[in-house]
Homo-oligomer: A and B are copies of this chain.
Amino acid sequence: MTATLVIGPYSDTDLDALEKTFKPVAIADPSGIAGLEKSTRAAIAAVAFKGHLHFGGSEMDLLPNLGMIANYGVGYDAIDVAAASARGVKVTNTPDVLNDDVADIAVAMLFMQGREMEHASRWARSGQWKEKGEYRLNRKISGGKAGIVGLGRIGREIADRLAAFKMDIHYFARSEKDTPGWTYHADPVSLARAVDYLVVALVGGKETEKFVSAKVIDALGPLGIVVNISRGSTVDEAALLNALEQGRIAGAGLDVFLNEPDIDARFYALDNVVIQPHQGSGTVETRAAMGQLQRDNVSAFHAGDALLTPVN
């Protein structure tokens, strides 16, 4: 009899570790729960969850003895936490271990887009450097004004890095933080108006949907660059696409999109966007740490110990 259900697209390494540790039942996504035998479902006490497909109350109700869901990732917007809480189900995530990698990608996308590094690379490789000599000038990024939307753990890591590039740091958060020298904005439009670079580090979920609205994007202006490493949902993607296509902002660096991996094809036609395939936390080291933390949460639950990183 197994007590753990594994859901999601894991790497071989992670799946091996899960299998060794828990001898679980494994399925590809939450829709597979309904296809399990009733006795199998009744035995499940913990779910190790990975992915962006919805895991809601109706799925939880198919698992009458479920006590916890351990999410792989810091963002747990795919899981209906309110529904879990209502059923006495604890949810955990994997915070902190991925902060550095995600912040690295955010900062690198800002410079890669702002300094046209991908375009310059293609230009050189296509023989145009040899033929034409100097590459066109772009804009200086360091020393400029950066706005962080959401100053949680990852947002702060991004701001700390950008500060080393002598950037003037502005931020939006639900409340002002203890950040000497950084400028707080209670309103994202005011933030966008004050800066050239907007880095979105919000949590996902309903509450932050389209938080970076058409109005915010318009306030950024023609030298503006939007960087998003949070969730595609946090930005009004239609408004962003329009602004990019019409040159109303300079560019974007995006690791997250709506409907990943089948993202809006309009992005592919743009050469003022750095497109990353949601690889912010995608390093060997960090994914190993995330998998370990997920498994440690499941083990703690089975052992009756305190969960390491509960979210409810």
Interface residue ranges, A against B (CB under 8 Å): 9, 11, 100-101, 103-105, 107-109, 111-112, 115, 117-118, 120-121, 123-125, 129-130, 132-143, 160-161, 163-166, 260-263, 268, 274-279, 282-287
Please, how many angstroms separate the alpha-carbon atoms of A161 and B141 in the complex? 13
Chain B residues near A160: list those with CB within 8 A. Answer: 164
24 A-B pairs within 8 Å (CB atoms) are namely A9-B133, A9-B134, A11-B137, A103-B142, A104-B115, A105-B117, A108-B108, A109-B117, A118-B118, A120-B277, A124-B275, A125-B275, A129-B260, A129-B261, A129-B277, A134-B278, A134-B282, A135-B277, A135-B279, A136-B282, A137-B283, A138-B283, A138-B284, A140-B285
Shortest CB-to-CB span from A9 to chain B, Å, is 6
**A143 x B282 contact (CB < 8 A):** no
Contact of B164 with A164 in the complex, beta carbons under 8 Å? yes
Docked-complex contact A286 and B140, CB < 8 angstroms: yes
The 4 A-B pairs at the shortest CB distance, nearest first, are namely A164-B164, A108-B111, A140-B285, A140-B283
Contact call B100/A277, Cβ cutoff below 8 A = no
B residues less than 8 Å from A165 (CB atoms): 100, 104, 161
- How many copies make up the complex? 2
Instruction: Please state if A285 and B124 are interface contacts (CB–CB under 8 Å).
Output: no
Q: Which of B124, B268, B274, B284 contacts A137 (CB 8 A)?
A: B284
The docked-state distance in angstroms from the alpha carbon of A101 to that of B136 is 15
Given that A261-B129, A282-B134 are contacting pairs, would A120 and B161 also be in contact in the complex, using a CB cutoff of 8 Å?
no
Contacts of A129 in B (CB 8 A): 260-261, 263, 277
Closest B residue to A135 using CB positions: B277
| A261-B130 contact given A105-B117, A108-B117, A275-B124, CB 8 Å threshold | yes
Query: With A and B bound together, what is the CA distance between A132 and B262 in angstroms?
Result: 10
Q: Across the interface, name the chain B residue whose C-beta is closest to A283.
A: B140
Give me 14 other A-B pairs in contact (C-beta within 8 A), A137-B287, A140-B285 excluded. A104-B142, A112-B112, A117-B274, A117-B276, A120-B276, A124-B261, A124-B275, A129-B277, A133-B261, A134-B282, A135-B278, A138-B279, A161-B164, A161-B165
CB distance from A271 to the nearest CB of B (A): 10
CB distance from A242 to the nearest CB of B (A): 20
Query: Using Cβ atoms and an 8 Å threshold, which residues of chain B touch A109?
Result: 117
| Given the contacts A103-B142, A107-B111, A283-B137, A262 and B130 also touching, CB distance less than 8 Å | yes
